[in-house]
Structure 1
């Protein structure tokens, strides 16, 4: 007969002993964790460390939501995926990684993006929700679903060398719409696929998201959780700042005293798989001022005298560019436009390229506008408006012309 008392059993006690030795956790905290279900929305740079630490912490059930597949460009920061699982759905890959850490963990895999149709249903059966999507449209959907389902939301974001962390909808604190009532214009939003991100930055923020979820699960107060405050992290200076957020807005559209929203709705903002090149952005270029990548490839083969203007920033240009291209970032066109004419003196046409055809389209409009203002001499290619946007940019070039050309 056993002569000892062990509330959690031999295996659990040995496995989670280091965690239970923390007075703020203890046996009671571990018991709470073993009854807690957490939903992680997004299995990328933020969701990877968050899910792995939650799996290790001993929660009862983990939900993973992602409709994307693992790509090699993910691997520098999305640490629960591997080269061997390239092409596998991220939620499925994440489940494999989490089960490798904790075989007893129940993992629910949702191989889909969050949408207005599934958001509330996904959130309802979990105790805590982590928004690791890092895109604006999903932030609003997750927030609204959490408010309607009365679930706390741990929100994280990371870009370049900076990260943010907060907890919404927790014990009377503000929700995301209290702080950001309306989404920003799509053209003002930069994500890590455009702006870049240092791998450890989402690692730091995602780890802290897991920590906040654990604190909520073990019953910590609003003062001890990042509710009503936002953590700002700078990797460049290795500094953290804590700023207080505005309190809950009684007039908030979703969590206010008389909310106008009673269901999850779509917002006009970038979401999963968003590409500005695929969306309507103002008027079309005039006929004759656009070419496909295949058409431009033919121009190069024929040896037609032309100038290729690459309007990406210098960092991207140094990563990859087509031979013979001149680098002049979009922001510098107005300042350096007249110098550009020197390069184009013998050219029959000027072709403009960028990564995906977005900035090059804007640059083509700008050059045509400068031509109308009489900035260029009338007999030059620029002065005659012989400017053509290379549609789809280098991404399209790699797909349709040269598959040895890397994409990023």
Structure 2
């Protein structure tokens, strides 16, 4: 309040403001923490996930006692312990086209701390339709980036990224990993940008039409100018085709280029638990193949000796003549594991299309094995 840019008037603006944070993870946690400390009058947090132990190194708003509790609720509990003067709304459900537009109406500024393309496009569109300023940040590995959308006739997310990257071209934190402090830094900068917007800082002080790139390994902060609002943008252009997010098929838009649909219950392969796998393995099925499709870096950190490392992302590059040596004959059993049981399903589907008929997906991957049989295995 003593700062000349804020003063008493700025503090009152913070007190009267309402901010919605999408995601209570590595970016959303510090953003929520510090905005509440600054005295933002009302904060909404939406997240349908529950706290896991593997989250705690970077999602600092949660703790070990909250494992299994919804993240939005956990964040609310933490904030209310040190600032009971503000209002916290915990939305313990997933953001969807059916609820996004109505939810956004209530808030002044939106902070996107999500971690998947579908949500990012949905958040952008709902913010544009409601004429809300959107602060968007992301982090992976040693790097993070941040920009502000929809500020003073600036561009939106679709202006910069009208199409999703192709499947496999962009890694997630789960695949590539992230240094815990990187999303923390991005979350703090999101909070700073939010505060500047609320107190109506001059236009050139807000990261609109500029993108900040932070490299923690090199120790550099760089700000690049990005292209402005696009007349042809389907969200904010001269003739936007997206008038209501409920009328736009995000699954089709994102699924066509960004992501791969993970098969659920399937006739292409059989799900098998670790208990059943161990029982079968005790019978010494020497003809079976055991494949770990996690990225090589994860395999190097922790692995089960029985399994060979064949990263899922490398499978399309394997030559047909090498299949028998790597995966066995097409009628032999192939047991596939990954980190949590998602990429192993995709690997089963991939091999089925190559003619393999005896495929087993190990449910829960190595994380589930660690929970059941070896507490020393790190959650990665």
**Range of TM-score over shorter length:** 0.7 to 0.9
Spell out the pairing of 1:36-55 with structure 2 (5 A cutoff).
36-55=17-36
- Choose from 251, 257, 260 the match for 2:241: 260
The answer (yes or no) to whether the contact 2:263–2:345 under 8 Å persists in 1 is no
SS of 1:97's partner is helix
The answer (yes or no) to whether the contact 1:55–1:101 under 8 Å persists in 2 is no
Distance in 1 (alpha carbons) for counterparts of 2:61 and 2:186 = 15
Is the aligned partner of 1:316 residue 2:298? yes
The answer (yes or no) to whether the contact 1:357–1:391 under 8 Å persists in 2 is no
SS of 1:158's partner is strand
* Residue equivalent to 2:372: 403
1:200-224 CA-to-partner distances (Å, cap 9, x unmatched) read 1100000000000000000013311
Larger Rg: 1
Relative to structure 1, the CA distance from residue 161 to residue 359 in structure 2 (aligned partners, 3 Å threshold; closer, same or farther) is farther
Cα deviation for residue 63 of structure 1 reads 0.9
The answer (yes or no) to whether the contact 1:360–1:389 under 8 Å persists in 2 is no
The answer (yes or no) to whether the contact 1:130–1:209 under 8 Å persists in 2 is yes
- Choose from 342, 354, 366 the match for 2:338: 354
Between the two proteins, the alignment pairs up a number of residues equal to: 364
* Residue equivalent to 1:8: none
SS of 2:291's partner is strand
- Choose from 13, 38, 56 the match for 2:37: 56
Spell out the pairing of 1:74-85 with structure 2 (5 A cutoff).
74-85=55-66
SS of 1:156's partner is strand
Relative to structure 1, the CA distance from residue 258 to residue 387 in structure 2 (aligned partners, 3 Å threshold; closer, same or farther) is closer
* Residue equivalent to 2:95: 114
SS of 2:19's partner is strand
Is the aligned partner of 1:292 residue 2:272? yes
* Residue equivalent to 1:29: 10
Cα deviation for residue 45 of structure 1 reads 0.7
SS of 1:254's partner is coil
Is the aligned partner of 1:341 residue 2:325? yes
1:357-384 CA-to-partner distances (Å, cap 9, x unmatched) read 5257548846985xxxxxxxxxxxxxxx
Task: Give the root-mean-square deviation of aligned CA atoms.
Answer: 3.3
Spell out the pairing of 1:193-212 with structure 2 (5 A cutoff).
193-212=174-193
Relative to structure 1, the CA distance from residue 94 to residue 275 in structure 2 (aligned partners, 3 Å threshold; closer, same or farther) is farther
Spell out the pairing of 1:185-334 with structure 2 (5 A cutoff).
185-264=166-245, 265-268=248-251, 269=254, 276-278=261-263, 292-293=272-273, 296-306=277-287, 307-330=289-312, 331=314, 334=318
Choose 331-340 or 223-232, whichever is displaced more: 331-340
* Residue equivalent to 1:16: none
Relative to structure 1, the CA distance from residue 386 to residue 367 in structure 2 (aligned partners, 3 Å threshold; closer, same or farther) is closer
The answer (yes or no) to whether the contact 1:37–1:60 under 8 Å persists in 2 is yes
Distance in 2 (alpha carbons) for counterparts of 1:59 and 1:138 = 25
- Structure 2 unaligned blocks of 5 or more: none
Relative to structure 1, the CA distance from residue 188 to residue 359 in structure 2 (aligned partners, 3 Å threshold; closer, same or farther) is farther
* Residue equivalent to 1:100: 81
Runs of 4+ off more than 6 Å: 342-345
Name the TM-score, length of structure 1 as normaliser: 0.78
- Structure 1 unaligned blocks of 5 or more: 1-19, 370-384
1:105-161 CA-to-partner distances (Å, cap 9, x unmatched) read 111121112111111111111111101112211111111111111110011111122
SS of 1:403's partner is helix
Name the TM-score, length of structure 2 as normaliser: 0.84
1:342-369 CA-to-partner distances (Å, cap 9, x unmatched) read 9979xx7654443325257548846985
Distance in 2 (alpha carbons) for counterparts of 1:187 and 1:279 = 20
The answer (yes or no) to whether the contact 2:21–2:32 under 8 Å persists in 1 is yes
